[in-house]
Chains A and B, each alone.
Chain A
């Protein structure tokens, strides 16, 4: 099938600093790496502390829940604030 000719908004080709291709790509890669590290942490903690009859407890909850579910929620909030203040550019 033949490619149809498209029109491009010439003005919008002038990327601003934050919207540039390179900046957006950098932000996307950092976000995905952070997601994989964060997700891997939860899986490792669940594997280490979640199995067995006598699981350990921390702050009244199973350690794998405290370290693998609750603390990562706060870690995500902190990461997001740091990300938006230092890495992300509009």
Chain B
């Protein structure tokens, strides 16, 4: 029965993704640029409340839903203390950059984040960020496919490879043909299932064992589970600062796949619903994940892998239908993140790397190109996830960390700091990314007890400021166009 619920959920995603009301379809006689804009920014028609849920779903991946309970199961309550900073994802993701990106995106009529960066910091920046986005996101999509397949595998009895192909086919179909519109509406469905799934499992677990009893049982089983720094000295204070406070901030602010969604809203959008829905959804989801990790630690102490904490808790404590809804929630979290990554990677190829060529095609051909490029990105990720490396979470953390170090200084500079320069942001961002990549490549992730993502962001941001002060500022007209308020500027003058 749980399997049937998941199949229905997948079918609903396909239906919602492929169906588009007449009013949302692009009119005839469009240009190539309009086709591209419609595909990647949904014709700037996404409403505020859909935007809030889309950003929340994009930031919270299936990895979060699996890894948070898994962490609490294996390392104790330090997992909750660490992940608690993630409660700010929604606030940071929407309130820090959302309104500015919408304003700038509409002002310059751009279809991708790299295109906007290109206008502010030059075409070289557009090209570099496009290439980096494509390769890093490609690896990250593969980890999302793998996570989805593990969930389907739990209830279907199918082989892992079959699960990857089924999930990949569903996601590829609706995202390739539907673009950002499909992504937005499927995200609403996925957010509903995520909320239902997490709340159901938390309520049932609290009903079976109260919160205080859960903590007492964990304390009795292993006192390290309820004390700092957790089992195996997991989270000492320097790591808490660098891997908790800083990583969570860069995930919230420097996530290009989430921030790109803001280009899909029209100017003058009332952002309060987006902030309220995006923030409160995440504030609700995280405590439910904590409770499921604690409940699994008490009720299922002998699991073969901590990653099974959430799926096994769902299967063993809930009725089959409710277990299906809970697991569909995990699947929804994975699918929402994966589709946002696919679209952003596809935009990097067609709108940025191949911009000079793609914008000259006929509208029909450009539409075909958009679908084909999304297909290739998605199917390439399916192939990469058929035989996944053992350390998928590490790849995902590396991708998130390096993207955060690249894009946090760039986004903040582009939105708020007129004095930031092309050389400054490129030096700072690339240095930050190199620090993170080197840390992971040489397995030296905690120099002086501080995680490389923390080092990458701090050193990268400092370099951005210093080099920007030493190098030539951007043209006045670019500065005026980006940072001027309340007056119409005639750029032709």
Contact = CB atoms under 8 A, between A and B. Distances in A.
**Is this pair of chains taken from one and the same complex?**
yes
Central interface residue in B99, B100, B267, B280, by most chain A CB within 10 Å? B99
Interface residues of B, number: 68
Contacts of B270: 90
B77 A62 contact: yes
A15 B485 contact: yes
A88 B85 CA distance: 21
B245 interface: yes
Contacts of B95: 27-28, 31, 83, 88
Nearest to A15: B485
A82 interface: no
Contact of A88 (B88, B229, B275): B275
Interface stretch (B11-19, B103-111, B368-376): B103-111
Given A12-B267, A32-B96, A76-B88, A61 B108 contact: no
Contacts of B240: 43, 46
Nearest to A3: B122
Contacts of A65: 77, 80-81, 215, 226
Interface in A27-66: 27-28, 31-32, 35-36, 38-40, 42-43, 46-47, 50-53, 55, 59-62, 64-65
Q: Is the interface of B mostly helix, strand, loop or mixed?
A: helix
Nearest to B109: A9
Nearest to B216: A60
B84 A12 contact: no
Interface string B465-493: 00000000001000001011111111100
Contacts of B412: 28
Contact of A43 (B244, B485, B489): B244
Contacts of A68: 81, 84
Contacts of B244: 39, 43
A18 B484 CA distance: 14
Contacts of B248: 39
B241 interface: yes
A76 B106 contact: no
Contacts of B84: 42, 68-69, 72-73
A61 B244 CA distance: 22
B271 interface: yes
Contacts of B483: 21
A4 B359 CA distance: 13
Interface string A9-31: 11111111011111011011001
A75 to B, nearest CB: 10
A90 B271 contact: yes
B380 interface: no
Contacts of B365: none
A52 to B, nearest CB: 7
Given A35-B88, A73-B287, A13 B489 contact: yes
A28 B486 contact: no
B215 A51 contact: no
B123 A4 contact: yes
Interface of A: 1-4, 6-16, 18-22, 24-25, 27-28, 31-32, 35-36, 38-40, 42-43, 46-47, 50-53, 55, 59-62, 64-65, 68-69, 72-73, 76-77, 80, 83-84, 88, 90
18 contacts: A1-B124, A11-B488, A13-B489, A14-B488, A20-B485, A20-B486, A31-B92, A39-B85, A39-B248, A40-B245, A43-B244, A47-B228, A50-B81, A60-B212, A64-B81, A64-B228, A88-B271, A88-B275
